[in-house]
Amino acid sequence: MEAIAVEHSTAHSHDAHDHGHGHHHAQSFIRKYIFSNDHKVIAKQFMVTTIFFLFVGGLAALLVRWKIAYPDQAVPILGSLLPNTWVSDGVIEPGFYSQLLTMHGAVMLFLVIIPMVNGMIGNFAIPLMIGTDDMALPTLNMFSFWLNIPAAMLLMGGFVIESGMAQAGWTAYPPLSAIQGLGQTMWIAGLFLVGFASIMGAINYVTTILNKRAKGMTLFRMPMTIWALFVTAVLITLGTPVLAAALAMLFFDNFFHSSFFIPYGMLASSALDGSRNWTGGGQPLLFQHLFWFYSHPAVYIMILPSMGVVSDVIATFSRKPIYGYKAMIFALMAIGFLGFIVWGHHMFQSGMSPLLGTTFVLSTIVIAVPSAIKVFNWLGTLWGGSIRYTSAMLCALAFVSMFIIGGLSGIFMASAAVDIFIHDTYFIVAHFHYVLFGASLFGVFASIYYWFPKMFGKMMSETWGRRHFFWSFVFFNLTFFPMHIIGLGGHMRRIADPTVYDFLKPFQPMNEFITWAAIALGFSQFFLVFNIFWSLKYGKPAPRNPWNANSLEWAAPEHPGHGNFDTDITVYRGPYEFSQEYREQDYWEQWVPPTEEEKKAEAAYFEAHKGELH
Amino acid sequence: MDFMKYFDFLVWFPENVSTFGAELDHLFEVIWWIDVAIFFLTYGLLAYFLIKYRQKPGVRARGYHGNNLLEFTWTLLPTILFGGLGVYCDGAWETTKNSNRIPKPDVEIEVLGKQFNWVFRYPGADGVLGKRNDKIRTTDNLFGIDPSDPHGKDDIIIENDLHLPINKNVLVRLSSVDVLHSFFLPNFRVKQDALPGSWMKVWFNGIKAGKYEIACAELCGASHYNMRGTITMHSLDEYNTWYDTQIKGKAEQMAQAPAPEAKPAEAEAQAGEHHGDAKH
Ligand code: HEM
Ligand SMILES: [Cu+2]
Ligand SMILES: [Cu+2]
């Protein structure tokens, strides 16, 4: 297999530089830039759509925040543009508020984070880092991107109909989601398609990683990014079908009025048309079990690839091997496996048997261990390093520090007894934004700063990168840290107007503060967009290996074309041979064969340090 | 050092007025201090490494690959710590939620979530709740009280205004007539989802008289935010007085008009929403 892969990539090597000329393949513009099979083009397409949706989801979030902070005041500027069924005199109606928060959650999770860490990072990194010309199944890969477009249209389709968008939250618990109208129906169908796209991508990643590695690239020579993407892809293929099953049943309940999740005696007084009737006899909790059986692994689907990138970025910019490479891989696998047996921690207060609750407390506590191991190993990597504070490194460090806070809040919620009070409060909202924005999204930022040179052949502006990092980091914490506090005050999630409650009145100033911090956080993201455009136009041309890193993507030409590599790739060592004492140069590329002297120096060194744990 | 109290996040909690609430808050506190310790340990190391090992001319990184003994240690320690914590917290979980361990109830009531109100049922003059059946529920008979059961005739049904005595074990049977809701009593540290089709047991014991708020903690529709009720805790005497008034009221009401025939569910489809939308 490997031999074939290598031959294949050599066959393509001569046109690796043909980007923009097309003399060889004579591809049409459409085949090359739109319906392209090239994994790098698909990665860029994912990059464009996910950043676009990041702003869409962000806008929804800011409207949500405005409503919470100023429930009776008109939204500035936008208030007058929205139709009167959704706002009255510019003030957001509670129903529209629910639509916005549903869209925010669903867009951010399913159209931003998941496609960013898998579609964008996975597509770009996998073939380059394992040293091959493209994915194993390039056409399927193309579909996995394009399916996202109709899926996104369905997901948000309610925007163009009068009854509006889905409004049952991203978790879409029935019976509420089953008794809502067309916007919800389309949302369910859209999510089903997103899942389909996700599975297509994942199958492709697993196949590519298993079959198309360059000669000498053994499994334990793969960079952490590839390991993480591999485990993630396995989680997607095992978990997403369960979500699909739940969504299919929900679709039936919603559209054909079956009763998978509808119990006897339900008075659906708010069903949009009173004529809809359900027989009953179903069990609403079943949906939650199926949903979380997917969605807990899904939170790891959203973060593991980022963890991989962060490991590589930290190693490169500390000039150190990743600490405990194998421990990191086993921790990844442990998280992947345990991720499937902790779903009940989302359901402690749902009416599930409390005995089952105890079981899920224990499994959840166990999964915190590999998370802790990862943190310790990142710290170990920094220890004794020679740290370069590039934008990519800063974002990776933000990942580590924010992930610690997210993990610490997780411990409260993992204890079912403590979770009674904080469940469904802003404490939970704080927790998952620390892990998803603070960690995962900052990991994505790190990946953009790190790979932009290979992606576009230009260096990115470090000045603007640092500005983006700094303001995002500051406003992120100002936005989300206070949410822990209002959560402990008992502030429920998903309420349009907290001023209804006396016990929440003292927290209203904090709510206003959070909203302004969130607005500033939103605007900070324009630094990133500006930087991307500025660097595309004015960025310095990127050298082949700008960060003096070891992994194979840096063996490819400055701006690799279809086919990736211009040389025959053989791998001689692992990806983390930084700062080895027996070598002059503080890195050792995976693809460079050792000279006779180097072999001798290495052997002599290991002879001298026999028995040491190295 | 007064400002130190803000360092303990427990200060942000609403006042606790239930027996087991203190136990739950204590667990929060234990985890809080463990977290503070882990925070300073990890952030301390992080800050130290970031400053000490920043790039310096002429200083090379050391190419360690790791150390198995360290890996082993930092696997074992969190396992013991977190595992111990899980076991330690289990007692309080069993006390609050395990339905086999609920203490003998002094007061038994039923609570229904309904878009967007809380509906309460007291046993009435005879002290016995009438039999109910979800399958015969209508908008006029939310609890599905069996019309053939005489115990059900005098049951008192109240919306959003719950009254209970202090220092008594209260057993609530909780369900919902439509979508999911979550019965949230912030001051009592009680939270339990209300599931249509299932009746869940919830218990608590209030230790301080006063008026507190009831909230819904599970998204249940547009007016979810407005699904607010109140719970007033009385001394036993006060409570009995209040309860007697309710019984009298019910008796008068029954004397005036016999209970209306149950109407089909759809007829009043929109009726339930008025309260919730009142604000906007
Ligand atoms: C130390 C590791 C972690 C532990 C112990 C933990 C524990 C928990 C628990 C118990 C809940 C449910 C709380 C409740 O609803 O009452 C929860 C919610 C959540 N967690 Fe974590 N978590 C951890 C890490 C993560 C990571 C790494 C992610 C994502 C990247 C994540 C994302 C989420 C999300 C999105 C929710 C809320 C879902 C919702 O209700 O909308 N968590 N976590
Ligand atoms: Cu989870
Ligand atoms: Cu509600």
Residue-wise pLDDT tens digits, A203-215: 999 999 999 999 9
Q: Compute the average pLDDT of residues A171-190.
A: 93
- Among B45, B177, B200, whose Cβ lies nearest the Cβ of A379? B45
Q: What is the CATH number of domain A34-527?
A: 1.20.210.10
Handedness of CA A59, A64, A67, A70 (dihedral sign): negative
DSSP state of A120: I
Residues 158-197 of B with CB under 8 A from A: 177-180, 182, 184, 186-187, 189-193, 195-197
At A274, is the pLDDT very low, low, confident or very high (cuts 50, 70, 90)? low
Of A394, A535, A570, A527, nearest to A455 by C-alpha is: A535
How many Cβ contacts (< 8 angstroms) between chains A and B?
343
Q: CA torsion angle for B27, B32, B37, B38 (degrees, to 10)?
A: 100
Give the DSSP per-residue string, B58-96. Answer: T-PPP-----HHHHHHHHHHHHHHHHHHHHHHHHHHHHH
How much is the pLDDT for A30?
75
Cα–ligand 3 centroid distance for B182 (angstroms): 7
Task: Estimate the crossing angle of helix A121-130 against helix A224-251, to 10 degrees.
Answer: 140
Among A31-35, A120-124, B201-205, which is the least confidently predicted range?
A: A31-35
How far apart, in whole angstroms, are the C-alpha atoms of residue A480 and residue A212? 42
How much is the pLDDT for B62?
87
- pLDDT value at A22 more than 60: no
What ligand has the least distance to the C-alpha of A415? Answer: 1
Cα–ligand 2 centroid distance for B181 (angstroms): 21
Q: Give buried/exposed letters for B208-242 (b at 16+ CB in 10 A, else e).
A: eeeebbbbbbbbbbbbbbbbbbebbbbeeeebeee
- Among B39, B115, B280, whose Cβ lies nearest the Cβ of A408? B39
How much is the pLDDT for A12?
42
Contact B217 A405 (CB under 8 A): no
Q: Whose CA is closest to atom 37 on ligand 1?
A: A432
Using alpha carbons, list the distances in angstroms from residue A315 to A312, A378, A610, B203: 5, 9, 25, 53
Cβ neighbours around A606 below 10 Å, total: 12
Handedness of CA B144, B145, B147, B149 (dihedral sign): positive
DSSP state of B9: G
- The per-residue pLDDT for range A316-330, each reduced to its tens digit, is 999 999 999 999 999
**A54/B contact by beta carbon, under 8 A:** no
Q: Which of A180, A270, A477, A511 to mutate to test the interface with B (most CBs of B within 10 A)?
A: A270
Residues 236-275 of B with CB under 8 A from A: 265-266, 268-273
B22: CB partners within 8 A, 6+ apart: B16
How much is the pLDDT for A578?
92
Average pLDDT, chain A: 90
Q: Compute the average pLDDT of residues A564-582.
A: 90
Q: Are strands B229-234 and B161-165 parallel, antiparallel or unpaired?
A: parallel
Q: Before A453, cis peptide (omega within 30)?
A: no
- pLDDT value at A228 more than 50: yes
- The per-residue pLDDT for range A508-563, each reduced to its tens digit, is 999 999 999 999 999 999 999 999 999 999 999 999 999 999 999 999 998 888 88
Instruction: Give the three-state DSSP class for A37.
Output: coil
Place of tokens 């500033």: A520
Using alpha carbons, list the distances in angstroms from residue B152 to A226, B156, B250: 66, 9, 12
How much is the pLDDT for A614?
46
DSSP state of A117: I
A210: CB partners within 8 A, 6+ apart: none
Q: Give buried/exposed letters for A306-324 (b at 16+ CB in 10 A, else e).
A: bbbbbbbbbbbbbbbbbbb
Of A128, A230, A217, A132, nearest to A552 by C-alpha is: A128
Which one-letter amino acid corresponds to residue B77? L
Number of helices (H) and strands (E) in chain B: give both, helices first: 4, 10
- pLDDT value at A236 more than 60: yes
Handedness of CA A53, A54, A59, A62 (dihedral sign): positive
Q: Compute the average pLDDT of residues A445-473.
A: 95
Q: Whose CA is closest to atom 8 on ligand 1?
A: A410
How much is the pLDDT for A612?
59
How much is the pLDDT for A11?
38
Residues 255-314 of A with CB under 8 A from B: 263-271, 274-275, 280, 282-285
A451/A77: higher pLDDT: A451
- pLDDT value at A590 more than 90: yes
How far apart, in whole angstroms, are the C-alpha atoms of residue B207 and residue B168? 8
Give the DSSP per-residue string, B208-263. Answer: S-EEEEEEE-S--STTGGG--EEEEEE-HHHHHHHHHHHHHHHHHHHHHSPPPPPP
How far apart, in whole angstroms, are the C-alpha atoms of residue B116 and residue B226? 7
Instruction: Give the three-state DSSP class for A404.
Output: helix
Helix (H) or strand (E) holding A148: helix A148-155
A279/A408: higher pLDDT: A408
- The per-residue pLDDT for range A91-111, each reduced to its tens digit, is 999 999 999 999 999 999 999
- Among A321, A351, A496, whose Cβ lies nearest the Cβ of B195? A351
Task: Return the residue of A nearest to B268 by Cα.
Answer: A269
Among A61-75, A378-392, B84-98, which is the least confidently predicted range?
A: B84-98
Residues of B in contact with A97 (CB under 8 A): 222
Task: Return the residue of B nearest to A577 by Cα.
Answer: B63
Q: Which of B82, B85, B135 to mutate to test the interface with A (most CBs of A within 10 A)?
A: B82
Instruction: Give the three-state DSSP class for B139.
Output: coil
Q: Before B20, cis peptide (omega within 30)?
A: no
- pLDDT value at A47 more than 60: yes
Q: Compute the average pLDDT of residues A373-383.
A: 95
Contact A613 B180 (CB under 8 A): no
How far apart, in whole angstroms, are the C-alpha atoms of residue A446 and residue A401? 14
How far apart, in whole angstroms, are the C-alpha atoms of residue B196 and residue B73? 48
Question: In the numeric block, which tokens belong to residue A90?
Answer: 């510019």
Question: Would you say how long chain B is, in residues?
Answer: 280
Query: In chain A, pLDDT over 70 holds for what percent of residues?
Result: 93
Note whether A181 and A113 are within 8 A (CB). Answer: no
pLDDT in tens, chain B (280 residues): 566 666 778 889 999 999 999 999 999 999 999 999 999 999 999 999 999 999 998 888 888 888 888 889 888 999 999 999 988 988 899 999 988 889 999 999 999 999 899 999 999 888 889 999 988 888 888 899 999 988 888 899 999 999 999 999 999 999 999 899 999 999 999 999 999 999 999 999 999 999 999 999 999 999 999 999 999 999 999 999 999 999 999 888 888 865 554 444 443 333 333 333 333 3
Contact B49 A358 (CB under 8 A): no
How much is the pLDDT for A334?
95
- Among A361, A424, A496, whose Cβ lies nearest the Cβ of B217? A424
Residues of B in contact with A362 (CB under 8 A): 83, 86
Of B164, B159, B127, nearest to B242 by C-alpha is: B164
Place of tokens 């909230």: B215
- pLDDT value at A152 more than 90: yes
